[in-house]
């Protein structure tokens, strides 16, 4: 933040959930000019802009999903300096007409999110990101900041080169997330479903993400889980946009606890209470695995990252690599394949292997938080025969405990608040977490504020959000203190608030 406030180019590599968005959002507000944020996903832009609107911070997004008249209005307001943050897609920046009107905007700096997409060595390379080199040409005096959660040394160097960053300040956080437990198991034919079911029952009342390699596997897995009377929902690229969005929001609002998706799911997902991420096949790269597994335990509580792979996964990955026609890209794909295969086959500490892959050299050799270091989950240990078991598998910790925030809360009041949050979010057309994060909801449940000043003392409530929802929350708590103890809150309607794109 200090680097951006002082006008320096900056490169930030920070794990999922580490606070990257805050690093550019707060300086934008403090500088009083407009930060241009380049983001690769429309859904991600929508969520961030909506969250800022809930805090009273003028923000907008500009992309092809908006009607032409709305786009024109956003451009006009941006030129007048009305926004603190303006979210653009790389495709929008590549348009010939964009630089013209952008030069009229009072720009504080550029923030490039998911910056690994600019590198051909990155696992999510997008050609339009290459056009971002034009920013230095058109705006030579404006700082540029690059942010990513998963970049090797080679990718980091490529980011600096492609964006033409000048003597940038570099912030490389550790890739070691000690609250995560990595569990990797090669499955025999027919074994995977039974292990998946054991895992889901181990987290019987907690949020779980399951990653499947194909759309067919997503649908098959959803059907299998439904047959076990477990609430589940699917997510993949061939669904209609509205259906995908609705499914994601239902999972975010805890209406269903298990989401099964392809790699299309997850970028920018801001749910802190995921207790497990399960992969049903080898990912195509270590970067992809680290990013997806890292969506577990963002609240700092213990969480499991489970990789249940089969030998046939290697054939599927090899098939996709063989379809690549560009020789250089094919070679990069094979290198990624060999890296994830070594990780899956290795008997070495999983945390250490991840750190080493990203160029970090930890001084420790064992972590106590992965299967290779003797930390197993009881449900998985039961599936391993004595012949398969390594002599190091001596510690069998209990299942990950429930998040601390939910302990000791009035379950009825918590559900009442969650129902109010669901209905409020639905009326406003925003995800539930935009209205109130899980951690804030639990604090409201625990402390039961009765005034604006008490509400402001709860993390997640600023003056704007407290004014927006305070009276509704107080009324709900007051009604709950009475004899009725309502499950829902008929009659309480949120004040209208503008969609972020039209602010």
Question: pLDDT of 411-446, one tens digit each?
Answer: 889 889 988 998 898 888 777 878 888 889 989 999
- Report the side by side order of strands in the sheet with 85-88: 59-62, 85-88, 34-38, 107-112, 144-148, 10-13, 169-172
Q: Are residues 199 and 141 in the same domain?
A: no
pLDDT score, position 377: 65
- Average confidence (pLDDT) over 451-457: 94
Assess contact for 164 and 339: CB atoms under 8 A: no
222 and 337 co-located in one domain: yes
- Are residue 46 and residue 189 in the same domain, yes or no? no
- Copy the structure tokens of residue 379: 């449900």
Instruction: Among 172, 201, 230, give the residue marking a domain's end.
Output: 172
Of 92-96, 291-295, 384-388, give the range with the top mean pLDDT.
Answer: 291-295
Residue 95 shares a structural domain with residue 242:
no
Q: Name the residue range of residue 455's domain.
A: 404-494
d(CA 285, CA 109): 32
Considering the domain architecture, whether residues 354 and 412 belong to the same structural domain is answered as no
Instruction: Tell me, yes or no, whether 239 lies in a domain.
Output: yes
The pLDDT mean for the chain works out to 86
Residue 389 lies in a domain: no
* Least confident segment among 17-26, 222-231, 282-291, 382-391: 382-391
d(CA 253, CA 273) in angstroms, rounded, equals 11
At residue 46, does pLDDT exceed 90?
A: no
Are residues 122 and 15 located together in one domain of the fold? yes
- Within-domain flag for 490: yes
What is the CATH number for 196?
3.40.50.300
- Tell which residue, 78, 85, 77, 93, has the closest CA to residue 40: 93
Length of the chain: 503
What pLDDT, on a 0 to 100 scale, did the predictor assign at position 378?
66
Dist CA 143 CA 160 (whole Å): 13
What's the rounded Cα separation, in Å, for the pair 199 and 188? 16
Q: Are 5 and 31 in contact (CB under 8 A)?
A: yes
Tell me the three state secondary structure of residue 180: strand
Same domain for 33 and 144? yes
pLDDT over threshold 60, residue 488: no
**Cα radius of gyration (the chain):** 23
- Sign of the alpha-carbon dihedral angle for 295, 402, 376, 379: negative
Q: What is the pLDDT of residues 138-154, one digit of tens each?
A: 999 999 999 998 899 99
In a domain, 503, yes or no: no
Is the confidence at residue 489, as pLDDT, over 70? Answer: no
Question: Are 21 and 2 within 8 A, CB to CB?
Answer: no
Confidence of residue 253 (pLDDT cuts 50, 70, 90): confident
Same domain, 165 and 189: no
Strand, coil or helix: 114: coil
Q: Which of 22-26, 40-44, 266-270, 343-347 has the lowest mean pLDDT?
A: 266-270
Average pLDDT over residues 44-68: 88
**107: β partners:** 34
CB atoms within 10 A of CB 495: 11
Phi–psi pair at 291, nearest 5 degrees: -70, -45
Which CATH number is 430's domain given? 1.10.150.80
How far is the C-alpha of 227 from the C-alpha of 105, rounded, in Å?
55
Assess whether 331 and 436 both reside in one domain: no
Residue 146, phi-psi category: left (phi > 0), alpha (psi -120 to 50), beta (remainder): beta
The total domain count for the chain is: 3
Tracing tokens 């009659």 back to the chain, one arrives at 491
Are 147 and 62 within one domain? yes
The more confident residue out of 403 and 479 is: 479
Give the tens place of pLDDT for each residue, 375-393.
876 666 555 444 444 433 6
Q: Is residue 40 part of a domain?
A: yes
Q: Which residues are CB-neighbours of 153 under 8 A, at least 6 positions away? A: 358, 359
178-223 tens-digit pLDDT: 999 999 999 987 899 999 999 999 887 789 999 999 999 999 999 9
Domain assignment of residue 244, yes or no: yes
Instruction: Enter the pTM of the model.
Output: 0.82
pLDDT bracket for residue 40 (50, 70, 90): confident
Domain boundary, last residue among 154, 172, 190: 172
Residue 94 has pLDDT above 60, yes or no: yes
In terms of phi and psi (left: phi > 0; alpha: psi -120 to 50; beta: otherwise), the region of 17 is left
End-to-end CA, the chain: 25
Q: Nearest CA to 139 among 68, 60, 38, 44?
A: 38
| 398 domain-assigned | no
pLDDT at 95 over 80: yes
Q: What integer pLDDT is reported at residue 402 of this predicted model?
A: 43
Per-residue pLDDT tens digits for 161-183:
999 999 999 999 999 999 999 99
Which of 148, 172, 196 is the last residue in one of the domains? Answer: 172
pLDDT digits (tens, 9 = 90+) for 356-377: 999 999 988 899 899 999 887 6
Neighbours of 204 (CB within 10 A): 10
Q: Is the pLDDT of residue 125 over 70?
A: yes
Instruction: Kindly state whether residues 220 and 159 are assigned to the same domain.
Output: no
- Cross-strand pairs, 111: 37, 145
Side-chain-facing half-sphere of 247: CA atoms under 13 Å: 22
Measured between alpha carbons, how far is 342 from 289 in angstroms, rounded to an integer? Answer: 13
Instruction: Report the alpha-carbon distance of residue 114 to residue 49 in Å, rounded.
Output: 17
Q: CB of 52 within 8 A of CB of 22? A: no
Confidence of residue 82 (pLDDT cuts 50, 70, 90): very high
Residue 331 resides in a domain: yes
Please list, residue by residue across 137-173, b when 16 or more beta carbons sit within 10 angstroms of its beta carbon and e when fewer do.
eebeebbbbbbbbbbbeebbebbbebbebeebbeeee
Regarding whether 158 and 55 lie in a shared domain, the answer is yes
């Amino acid at each position: 933040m200090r680097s951006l406030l002082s006008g320096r180019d900056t490169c930030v590599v920070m794990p999922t959930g580490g606070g990257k968005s805050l690093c550019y959002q707060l300086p934008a507000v403090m500088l009083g000019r407009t930060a241009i944020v380049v983001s690769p996903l429309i859904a991600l832009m929508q969520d961030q802009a909506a969250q800022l609107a809930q805090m009273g911070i003028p923000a907008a997004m500009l992309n092809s999903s908006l009607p032409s008249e709305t786009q024109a209005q956003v451009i006009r307001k941006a030129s007048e300096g009305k926004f603190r943050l303006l979210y653009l897609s790389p495709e929008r920046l590549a348009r010939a007409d964009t630089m013209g009107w952008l030069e009229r905007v009072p720009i504080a700096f550029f923030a490039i999110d998911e910056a690994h997409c600019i590198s051909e060595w990155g696992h999510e390379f997008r050609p339009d990101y290459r056009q971002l080199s034009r920013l230095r040409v058109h705006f030579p005096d404006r700082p540029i900041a690059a942010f990513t959660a998963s970049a090797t040394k080679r990718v980091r160097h490529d980011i600096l080169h492609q964006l033409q960053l000048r003597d940038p300040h570099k912030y490389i956080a550790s890739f070691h997330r000690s609250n995560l437990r990595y569990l990797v198991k090669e499955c025999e034919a027919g074994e995977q479903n039974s292990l998946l079911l054991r895992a889901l029952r181990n987290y019987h009342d907690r949020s779980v993400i399951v990653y499947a390699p194909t759309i067919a596997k997503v649908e098959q897995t959803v059907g299998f889980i439904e047959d076990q009377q477990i609430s589940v929902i699917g997510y993949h690229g061939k669904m209609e946009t509205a259906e995908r969005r609705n499914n994601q929001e239902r999972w975010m609002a805890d209406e269903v606890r298990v989401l099964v998706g392809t790699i299309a799911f997850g970028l920018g997902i801001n749910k802190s209470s995921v207790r497990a991420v399960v992969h049903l096949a080898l990912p195509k790269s270590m970067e992809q695995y680290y990013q997806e597994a890292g969506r577990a335990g963002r609240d700092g509580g213990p969480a499991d990252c489970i990789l249940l792979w089969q030998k046939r996964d290697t054939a599927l990955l090899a098939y996709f690599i063989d379809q690549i026609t560009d020789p250089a890209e094919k070679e990069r794909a094979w290198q990624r394949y060999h890296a994830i295969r070594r990780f899956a086959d290795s008997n070495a500490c999983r945390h250490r292997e991840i750190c080493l892959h990203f160029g970090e050299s930890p001084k420790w050799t064992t972590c106590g938080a992965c299967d290779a270091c003797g930390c197993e989950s009881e449900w998985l240990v039961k599936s391993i025969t004595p012949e398969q078991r390594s002599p190091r598998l001596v510690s069998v910790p209990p299942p990950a405990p429930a998040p601390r925030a939910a302990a000791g809360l009035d379950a009825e009041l918590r559900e009442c608040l969650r129902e109010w949050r669901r209905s409020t979010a639905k009326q406003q057309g925003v995800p539930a977490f935009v209205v109130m994060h899980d951690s804030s909801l639990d604090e409201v449940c625990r402390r039961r504020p009765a005034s604006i000043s008490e509400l402001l003392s709860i993390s997640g409530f600023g003056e704007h959000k407290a004014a927006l929802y305070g009276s509704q929350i107080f009324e709900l708590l007051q009604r709950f203190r009475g004899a009725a103890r309502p499950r829902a809150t008929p009659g309480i309607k949120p004040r209208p608030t503008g969609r972020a794109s039209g602010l």
